[in-house]
Amino acid sequence: AVTPEYAAANVVSVCSGLLSIAAGIVAILVSHNLSRAALHWTLLSVSLLNCLLSTACSVGLALAIALTVHGRGTHLVRGCNSSALPVDARAAIATNDCPFNTTRIYDTALALWFPSLLLAAAEAVLSGRCCLVALVFQGIGPCAHSYGKEQV
């Protein structure tokens, strides 16, 4: 039994990572083909979508961390059908009713979610910057006029 908050945070995190890779590839293609407007629009759409998805990923991971810390990890071991479960998930569980090893699940989950949260926030910021660059290439935005003059 996995709580929907954790499942949603994990799925959005994976999708955000894959979309970040796609946005990076499109950004590399744009840097080598500056004259192709179709690539600029592709960069704009992919980076905007990635910015939104990375922001949602950051919020989901922050929610998962907050729920885990607040509940002291009890939601993480919800799949165990045992009355021997301790109140704190960090305590040793001496039961064979769990389908997974619960020894270090609390510490491991938090150790993985904190860096993921920081990386998702960095993805959101960098995708926002790529979105601005794509707008500048199209002549839209605050820096577009000076960029056009520099190109001429």
16-69: per-residue pLDDT in tens?
889 999 998 998 988 888 788 888 888 889 999 999 999 998 998 888 888 878
> Bigger pLDDT: 10 or 18?
18
- What pLDDT band is residue 149 in, cutting at 50, 70 and 90? very low
Average pLDDT over residues 82-89: 53
101-114: per-residue pLDDT in tens?
656 677 777 888 89
The residues near 12 (Cβ < 8 Å, ≥ 6 apart) are 53, 56, 57, 60
Whole-number Å distance between alpha carbons of 95 and 101? 10
Q: By CB neighbour count within 10 A (0-12 exposed, 13-18 middle, 19+ buried), where does 146 fall?
A: exposed
Which residue carries 């709580």 as its tokens?
A: 3
The residue ranges of every structural domain in the chain are 1-19+35-72+116-143
Whole-number Å distance between alpha carbons of 77 and 80? 6
Whole-number Å distance between alpha carbons of 152 and 149? 5
Could you tell me if 60 and 5 are in contact, meaning their C-beta atoms sit under 8 angstroms apart?
yes
Q: By CB neighbour count within 10 A (0-12 exposed, 13-18 middle, 19+ buried), where does 120 fall?
A: buried
The token pair that represents 39 in the structure block: 């690539």
